[in-house]
Each structure stands twice: as structure tokens, then as C-alpha cells.
Amino acid sequence: MSLENKLFRKNFHYRVKFINKCILRIKFMKCEKRRVAYKNYVFRMMKDIVKKNTCNYINLLTSINVRDIPERDELITDCYIMFDKCITKYKVCSGNNFYFYYNKSMSRNFFRNYQRKLNTNSVELTDAMTVAHPNLHCHKQPDTTEILMDGLQFDEIEKRIIRSRMNGQKTAEFLAENTDVNNGQYSRKLKRIKNILIYQKEIGGL
């Protein structure tokens, strides 16, 4: 069984306050065995973003014909090393969400690695991104809004709301065009979008 399958066989429900408590125990608990147990538990909760980032990285490397593409288990190990560093640097306080903090760190790290591979292969970054994400480009220019929405893991309804707000569309107009969304859903989704963007701005992600 691969390392990935061993670590991520189960799904865990992520709760921000609970994870913050776990991280405090990891930081200050004296019993090393229990610290390691908490750390492994929290890492398993990062399943979705670990798999997403490793998959995206492999796809990017494949798109520029890199010969030495690392194995998934090797990338999982790299993710754990990043996770360990993030645990150390993360500030536990109200409003902070380790999930977003760690996801941002992984994304930046893998993108830096990708840029190094691009330089090694003498491939232009814009051309490679066009190959890797053809649907996110228009006239060979990256649609940074779409890339950002994917990076922040907004769902399809939230993406539609963001596009409509950017186009100056009123709430009533949006609801008339999107009959699968009611006013309550719209309000909740919009509040979540604003909270995520505010948090990303505070930590320097935007």
C-alpha cells in the first residue's frame, strides 16, 4: 500500500476551532508521543488540499514534458515537511484558519518548484500555463480571477456569484438567471466569499 493510501484512507471532518486546539497541544505538549499523534491526526485532515496540490503539480510538470517527475509518495513526504514548518510558524488565534494557511504555503512552494523546472527546460512560463490551463486563458493571457477562485477552492455557485458581482450584476438579476440558487443561499455564499477574501488579505495572500 502506498504512503498516500495509508495516510488518507479515512475522511475527517475539519473543524477550525478544534484544529487550533490540536495545534496548541502540538506546540506546547511535553509528551513527544502524543505530540506526534496529534500532528499525524491534523495532517490526515489536510487530505483534500494535499492531494489537490500534488495532483496540480504533477499535471503542470507533465504539461512541460519534465523527465524526472517525482512519485506521489515523494510529494506527500514533501507536503508533510511543509506541514511541519507551517505548524511551527502558524499563529493560533481567533479568525485564523490553518487549512488556508497550509494550502497557501503548499501552493507557493510547488509553484516555485515549477518555475525552477521551467527555467531548467527553457520553457516560457506563459506558454506552459497555456498548455496546462487552456480554459483559463484568452488570447494567451492568464485569467487570474479564475485561477484565484480555483486556488481559494470556491465552489461553482460561489464562482458564479463572484463573476456576477464583478460584472456589476444586482442580486435580483443574479437570482433570476440562476434559478437553482435562492436568496438565503446567495446571502450565505456571499458572506463566506467575503470572509475568505478578508482572511487572505490579512495574511498577505491577496
pLDDT tens readout for residues 30-76:
999 999 999 999 999 999 999 999 998 888 888 777 778 889 899 99
Nearest Cα neighbor of 132 from 114, 116, 149 is 114
24: confidence class by pLDDT, cuts 50, 70, 90: very high
Pair (75, 118) in one structural domain: yes
Pair (131, 60) in one structural domain: yes
Within-domain flag for 141: no
Pair (109, 51) in one structural domain: yes
Within-domain flag for 145: no
Pair (117, 58) in one structural domain: yes
Pair (53, 111) in one structural domain: yes
Domain-ending residue, one of 107, 136, 165: 136
Compute the average pLDDT of residues 16-22. Answer: 93
Compute the average pLDDT of residues 92-107. Answer: 91
* Per-residue confidence (pLDDT) for residue 23, from 0 to 100: 95
Query: Which residue range(s) make up the domain with 185?
Result: 154-206
Pair (23, 123) in one structural domain: yes
Sign of the Cα torsion 168, 174, 178, 182 reads: positive
Read off φ and ψ for residue 54, nearest 5 degrees: -65, -40
Pair (29, 130) in one structural domain: yes
Pair (38, 99) in one structural domain: yes
* Per-residue confidence (pLDDT) for residue 191, from 0 to 100: 87
Pair (158, 132) in one structural domain: no
Within-domain flag for 148: no
Domain-ending residue, one of 108, 136, 164: 136
Pair (131, 178) in one structural domain: no
- Report the percent of the chain where pLDDT is more than 70: 83
Pair (33, 121) in one structural domain: yes
**Beta-bridge mates of residue 142:** 137
* Per-residue confidence (pLDDT) for residue 182, from 0 to 100: 93
* Domains held by the chain: number: 2
144: confidence class by pLDDT, cuts 50, 70, 90: low
Pair (17, 99) in one structural domain: yes
- If one compares 124 and 108, the residue with the highest pLDDT of the two is 108
* Per-residue confidence (pLDDT) for residue 121, from 0 to 100: 56
Compute the average pLDDT of residues 139-168. Answer: 77
Within-domain flag for 37: yes
